[in-house]
């Protein structure tokens, strides 16, 4: 059975009118589905309004107790429930989840070395059997980027990491396709030309594209994660944008 996992983030999260056609076409896919969402700008906006300073150390954001409250409110509350209600209106039986709900994702607070990241969680375990039971009961789980440590502490976790860890963990039970929905419609061979989507890429292609400087900067960690996921059993990773989720296309990443 195929399991489609869609990660959405960025501007489509801030605008339900942009998100709706994406979810609508995602629901058409044959097989089981999971959605993972990031945060959008709302959490930063809310922090600013509340006078909670965004603390950065060496370019990394720190999650103090007040920031964790904001993240929990915006990700697990506002966005998660808006997406669940939207999916329900489109006929998908969505069920919103943090890692604490049903104990589906366990994490631990990132150890303090040079930097104390605060309430940031690094993943320990995705409970694939519990998620499998929810999928079997015909729910479409919708994950926000909040996890817990099993000791009562909520933790802020990277949504991309949750998506790829879910994909890897579920690949023991399903043929998993992971869709990373970004702003552009795929990996572009020319950053100036939105139509220059590279249709597919294997590990050898990736090395060549890196050497030629065709892929660079922010796309590198995403592609590294994609190849990691493939090495760990995920069948296909698709780098796509709002339109390419809806109408096909995007860049299909495969192992070889």
Point out the annotated binding site for substrate. 39-40, 61, 156
Q: Which region, judged by CB under 8 A, interacts with its own copies, from 54-62, 66-74, 108-116, 158-166?
A: 66-74
Closest CA to 5 of 21, 22, 26: 26
Task: Name residues contacting its own copies, limited to 1-40 (CB under 8 A).
Answer: 16
Closer residue to its own copies in complex, CB, 21/233: 21
Q: Regarding beta strands 175-181 and 32-37, do their DSSP bridges make them parallel or antiparallel, or are they unpaired?
A: unpaired
Question: Of these, 47, 63, 67, 80, which contacts its own copies (CB under 8 A)?
Answer: 80
Measured CA to CA in angstroms, residue 39 lies from 26, 50, 67, 189 at distances of: 20, 17, 13, 28
Q: Hunting for tokens 């139509």 — which residue is that?
A: 195
Handedness of CA 120, 220, 182, 166 (dihedral sign): negative
Measured CA to CA in angstroms, residue 170 lies from 80, 104, 131, 140, 242 at distances of: 21, 12, 8, 14, 24
Question: Of these, 38, 39, 40, 96, which contacts its own copies (CB under 8 A)?
Answer: 96
Question: Of these, 82, 158, 189, 255, which contacts its own copies (CB under 8 A)?
Answer: 82
How many chain residues are in contact with its own copies, going by CB under 8 A?
A: 38
CA 13 to centroid of chain Cα atoms:
12
Give the tokens for residue 44. 């930063």
State yes or no: residue 137 binds its own copies (CB under 8 A): yes
Question: Of these, 6, 8, 94, 215, which contacts its own copies (CB under 8 A)?
Answer: 94
State yes or no: residue 148 binds its own copies (CB under 8 A): yes
Closer residue to its own copies in complex, CB, 110/177: 110
Q: Which region, judged by CB under 8 A, interacts with its own copies, from 58-66, 144-152, 166-174, 216-224?
A: 144-152
């Amino acid at each position: 059975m195929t399991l489609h996992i869609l990660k959405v983030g960025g501007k489509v999260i801030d605008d339900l009118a942009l998100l709706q056609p994406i979810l609508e076409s995602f629901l058409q896919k044959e097989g089981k589905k999971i959605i993972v969402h990031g945060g959008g700008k709302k959490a930063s906006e809310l922090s600013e309004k509340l006078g909670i300073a965004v603390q950065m150390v060496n370019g990394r954001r720190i999650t103090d107790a007040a920031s964790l409250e904001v993240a929990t409110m915006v990700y697990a509350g506002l966005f998660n429930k808006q997406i669940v209600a939207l999916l329900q209106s489109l006929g998908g039986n969505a069920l919103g989840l943090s890692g604490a709900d049903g104990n589906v994702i366990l994490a631990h607070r990132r150890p303090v070395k040079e930097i104390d990241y605060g309430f940031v969680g690094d993943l320990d375990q995705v409970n694939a059997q519990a998620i499998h039971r929810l999928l079997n009961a015909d729910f479409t789980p919708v994950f926000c980027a909040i996890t817990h440590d099993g000791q009562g502490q909520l933790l802020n976790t990277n949504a991309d990491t949750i998506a790829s860890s879910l994909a890897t963990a579920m690949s023991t039970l399903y043929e998993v396709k992971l869709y990373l929905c970004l702003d552009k419609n795929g990996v572009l061979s020319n950053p100036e030309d939105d139509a220059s989507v590279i249709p597919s890429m294997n590990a050898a292609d990736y090395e060549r594209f890196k050497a030629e400087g065709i892929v660079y900067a922010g796309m590198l960690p995403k592609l590294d994660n994609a190849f990691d996921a493939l090495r760990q059993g995920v069948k296909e990773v698709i780098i796509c944008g709002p339109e390419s989720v809806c109408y096909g296309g995007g860049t299909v990443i495969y192992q070889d």
